[in-house]
Amino acid sequence: MNTELIDQLKSFFDDVVLPKGYDKNIEKIREFAIAAKELKHRVIFITSGGTIVPFEKNMVRFLDNFSGGGRGSSTAEYFLEQGYHVLFFSRKNSLQPFIKNLMYHESDSFFTFLEHDKNTQHVKVSEHYYDQVSRHYLPWKKYIDSGHLIRLDFESVGEYLYYLRGISMELSILGKNLIVYAAAAVSDFYIPLSKMAEHKIQSMSKGLTISLDPVPKTIGFIVHLWAPKSFITTFKLETDDELLKTKSMQSLSNYGHQLVIANLLSNYRDRVIFYSPLLKDPLVILRETNDHQPIEIQIGKQLIQLHNNFLK
Ligand code: PAZ
């Protein structure tokens, strides 16, 4: 890795807050990685949801982005069902595998599923929703209790990168059995602590101009330093179709990893394209309009096939 990039990353880490409980959480991940290695488990490390960029040290305001964690959580479900162990690293309060269907009900909130039991004066799951609640809650509980699914969350871009580095390094002992699946929408800009207001920014008649520094690119670090033997998947999101192919190919040639999944904001739930040196041609994956299954099932199927080939 070029020393300039290494220095940039070092200054980034020096100028953001170390996540609370970092050492303890990394210790948990180390134990998970050691057990998975001993038992030769296949593991996928999924990042999901969007990072925030705080404006103040005593944070009142922040920049956010649209990602809600649908892609990451649906992918986690598929891989768990296929026998993979999943480390699910997601934005705090974003969608979670299986229980996402209970967190956000189509017509109402989680309260839709409840009813008042007049005999006990307790609230219980309404009989009408027994099947639905069990179908989503039970697999979630089963995978957590069995240790197949472990979860950790992030909020700011600083927390995200600290853990991205720490988790990748811990899981790297799994070698080729590890897939890194970086689906989170990570901010390209941030405010370093040294330039950040201490307290709530006060209103000013002349308005507010905020200057943001670039966040260092980390794909190269994962590929060359943090988890060099694993199968690395990154996402490329664009809004302009003309740019999508070029940017995806550029990313593959810059970093030399296994897979870029390209998607457009306008239809990312219905269409993605795989660019990979393991494929002869780019692979377009479409969700049929009458298909009620999420596209992540198709993504997962193709990804497992590529992972199988990579392992041979
Ligand atoms: O979380 P979600 O389902 O709402 O969105 C998923 C996504 C579009 C953020 C993901 O597919 C993706 O493209 N992630 C990378 C984003 C980026 O290039 O910054």
Host domain of residue 207? 3-97+147-229
Report the DSSP pairing between strands 149-154 and 85-91. Answer: parallel
The verdict on residue 134 lying in a domain is no
What is the pLDDT at residue 152? 98
Take residue 9 and report the two structure tokens written for it: 């990353």
- With respect to residue 236, please indicate whether it lies within any of the assigned structural domains: no
- Residue 283 host element (H or E): strand 283-286
pLDDT at position 27 is 98
Residue nearest to atom 19 of ligand 1 (CA): 185
Say what the pLDDT of residue 257 is: 98
State pTM to two decimals: 0.97
Report how many domains make up the chain: 1
- 13 domain residue, yes or no: yes
- Is 25 inside any structural domain? yes
The answer to the question of residue 43 being in a domain is: yes
11, part of any domain = yes
Half-sphere exposure of 248 (CA within 13 A, CB side): 27
182 lies in some domain: yes
* CATH number of domain containing 8: 3.40.50.10300
Judge whether 47 lies within some domain. yes
- d(C-alpha 133, C-alpha 183), whole Å: 27
CB of 68 sitting under 6 A from ligand 1: yes
Quote the distance between the C-alpha of residue 288 and its chain's center: 25
Please give the pLDDT value at position 199.
98
Residue ranges for the chain with pLDDT beneath 50: none
- Identify which of 217, 251, 254, 253 has the alpha carbon closest to the alpha carbon of residue 6: 217
- List % helix, strand, coil for the chain (3-state, nearest 5): 45, 25, 35
Which pLDDT does position 32 carry in this prediction?
98
Is residue 268 lining ligand 1, measured as CB closer than 6 Å?
yes
3-state SS, residue 103: helix
Q: Which atom of ligand 1 is nearest to the CA of 183?
A: 14
**Ligand 1 lined by 294 (C-beta under 6 Å):** no
